[in-house]
Structure 1
Amino acid sequence: MIEFSHVSKVYKGVKALDEVSFTVGPGSITGFLGPNGAGKSTAMRVLVGLCRATSGSATVLGRPYAELDRPGFQVGTLLDAAAQHPGRTGREILTLGAMTLGLPRSRVDEVLDLVGLSGKESRRTVGGYSLGMRQRLGIGHALLGRPAVLVLDEPANGLDPQGVQWMRGLLRGLSDAGCSVLLSSHLLHEVERVADRIVMIGRGRVLAQGTVEELSRGRGLERTFLDLTAHADRSAA
């Protein structure tokens, strides 16, 4: 479970997050939806302890990330697929992750198969990977410890249509098994096809949240999203 409670973050006088509150329950996928610069990545960085909230709290499984006993087995994260070492092979990156967690080498083969990277692809250096391959590798790294919570920032970037369909099926299978998934995107049509709930954010503020069905009523989900983000931009002007 993930919980944001009145989280605000101020950078040099600029409020990147403004009283953000929402939860992600077990066995569910929450789409964190907003345009680039809306505050999605900042919220995720606060959640996993990479930056400190100015006020409020963000917890995973009832505790701040820094207080988790074995975070690699409890929370899987993908915040930047391009951050992987370009001189290492995909297999080496996963092997180092498995060694850090004390996992057997066999887990690397399981994960490579799970994310659809062939033996030949896994032996290539990451510097020669496409963005889609880096995304698959990053998702695999997040899954090494079989975590109960997944935090994924724009994981569909660079995936081809087949890859996007694969990712939807993977996340749905994980959530059906009880995993809590927080998935950020700026693409409405990707989020609504996989998420159980949606949290819309703009200019650091939660603009609306609810199930896809709830947010689709009346004007429809796309119209609601466009109207709310436009309103947020006018209010900040």
Structure 2
Amino acid sequence: MPACPICTSSRTVKNGRIHNGKQRFKCHECGRQFVEHPHKKVIDTATRALIDRLLLERISLAGIARATQVSEQWLQTYINKKYAGVSRQVQVTPKKKGRLTIQCDELWSFVDNKGNKQWVWLALDADTREIVGVYIGSRDEAAARQLWQSLPPVYRQCAVAYTDFWAAYGAVLPTKRHQAVGKETGKTSYIERFNNTLRQRVSRLVRKTLSFSKSLENHIGAIWYFIHYYNASLLV
């Protein structure tokens, strides 16, 4: 067996293989895991672009690592940096003052365990189908206020908002421009359909998934990453 590169001990054993099939060893003395003749793999631009596209699909990080032949450790570091740089503000086409209509709803999710609930609050323009407001957090009046504040000013000034009967909306949205409605009216059908799209495209939101988030920062980043992509796709 090869000697440990850290403590030089010869008390090493085979310990599985790394992502590319190369033999991995473990040192009994210091616990170090290593491979013989390691080399640093340069991830090219094409592979990074492929990863960026795969992050928009219902694929686990382990699946992306296998498909692109990169290590899970490198992929996690890449994703941490990418999601940290995603803007937390909506990017929508400019609107003139006038009658605007939005539909609002909340989507349940969790981070690390189902006891740590994180609600995704969304507002959608009923005419353009753009997501115009986003907040991720608790499901209370303060969160509803954060959703309201996330809207571009023209929507806060002019939009009529259709929501379900969750009390937090009534406490925050302007009374004269807020209408609480049931699903049977169809007044919130677009946002409910988007909720389904979000669950199907962002693997960490799929019900009974094994791809759940362990980091709140990455959970929020992944949702914003897809929303920016979705809004941009409406302009194509």
Higher relative contact order (CA 8 A, sep 6+): 1
Bigger Cα Rg: 2
TM score, norm. by length of structure 2: 0.24
